[in-house]
Amino acid sequence: MPMRKLIVLAAAMFSISLGGCGSRESLHVTSLQLGRSVNPDGTVSSFTTRFVPGETVYLAVGTSGAGSGTIGVRWTYEGRVIDEPKKQVDYRIPATTEFHLQSATGFPPGGYSAEIFLNGQSAGIRPFRVEQDH
């Protein structure tokens, strides 16, 4: 086989093998869970969208794929931003990133939401309510 054909064949095989490496799925959000408590792995153990003023609100952001980035949440009350924490992550397998919202004096009743961001892009919103009794 002439040298030129060997080089072309080797280059083609190299590019095919690289194609398999590049097929890994990039980091993306797969689930958003709200609740009153979390498991040791960071997932929510008690799902709800209704809370009383003194409870801590837990949010678990499930991700899949591989990569690093910033996961953030914009907590709002009646349309006003009350907190915007962010966490740097670097995952190679499915994982969960936990956030929580709490108030020493208790939350006023009303409508709240948690909007999740991955690298500055919205990945979903979860509305919830705080009520005196539920």
**Rounded Cα–Cα distance for residues 35 and 59 (Å):** 7
pLDDT, residue 2, reads 53
Q: What is the pLDDT of residues 44-53, one digit of tens each?
A: 998 999 999 9
pLDDT band at 7 (very low <50, low <70, confident <90, very high): very low
pLDDT band at 25 (very low <50, low <70, confident <90, very high): confident
**Rounded Cα–Cα distance for residues 90 and 83 (Å):** 23
| Among 64, 120, 122, 61, residue whose Cα is nearest residue 96 | 61
Structural domains in the chain?
Answer: 26-130 (2.60.40.10)
pLDDT, residue 134, reads 59
Q: What is the pLDDT of residues 96-118, one digit of tens each?
A: 999 999 999 999 999 999 999 99
Q: What is the mean pLDDT of residues 56-68?
A: 97
